[in-house]
Structure 1
Amino acid sequence: MPGTVRAAQVLFFVMGGLGLLALVLAIVAGKAEAAGSISVTSLPAFVGLVSALRFPKRKPGSRGTAIIIASLLIVVGFGTLGQGQPAGLILCAVGVTIIILLSQRQSRPWFGRPVRP
């Protein structure tokens, strides 16, 4: 797996993990409204985590799906920024970074190759 694909995969893992951690902490603290907000905000990160698990399978649709999910991260980030929460800036930055990493020349051939038996 090229380094750019691995970096995008790690970013999805980190964002999904941070979202899950924030959700668990909000639930434990008994803040239901915060937990609901975090779950909606982190939804693209959770789906991105599942998408990143498919990267080693080299399916052509995995790259496109990951780019769409990263675009959703950007949209959610702008919405979060609009509500005055600085976490939206992180979502936007990670979404843009993932799109850039998966759009580079080294990343494209990885998803087009057949898997060796």
Structure 2
Amino acid sequence: MSETPTSIPPPPSKLPPPTGNIITDVIQSALHITDIPCARNSLLGGIASGAGIGVVRGMSAGALVAGNWAIATFMIVSLGSFHLCQKQMEDERKKVTRVIESMPRRVVKQEDEPSGSSNPTAS
């Protein structure tokens, strides 16, 4: 009899396995950034927010101050939206696990008759 798992494991990672060399690992991770769930949307939102705040702040302050605001906004928005997206994905995984565990077990009955026998009702 097979036992049902208590939780659904996360999908396998598309990222290359770590090699132990920090420089190589960082470069490989940066090259595969699009394979990380939520990364693309988070980075695009951060870039748009940072550029917007940088332009607005640049109208009233110098370029260095505007650059600092733009970078800070990019970091805050990117990290915040990435965290929220990962949290939503984890909550969805938990919800699917609960639904699967609450489903009634289906037992497949094996027929006693051989498959080659004729059906008397099919005349």
TM over 0.5: no
**What's the TM-score, normalizing by structure 2?**
0.28
Q: Greater Rg, structure 1 or structure 2?
A: 2
Greater helix fraction, Structure 1 or Structure 2: 1
Q: Comparing both chains, which one has the higher relative contact order based on Cα–Cα distances under 8 Å and sequence gaps of 6 or more?
A: 1
TM-score, normalising length from structure 1? 0.29
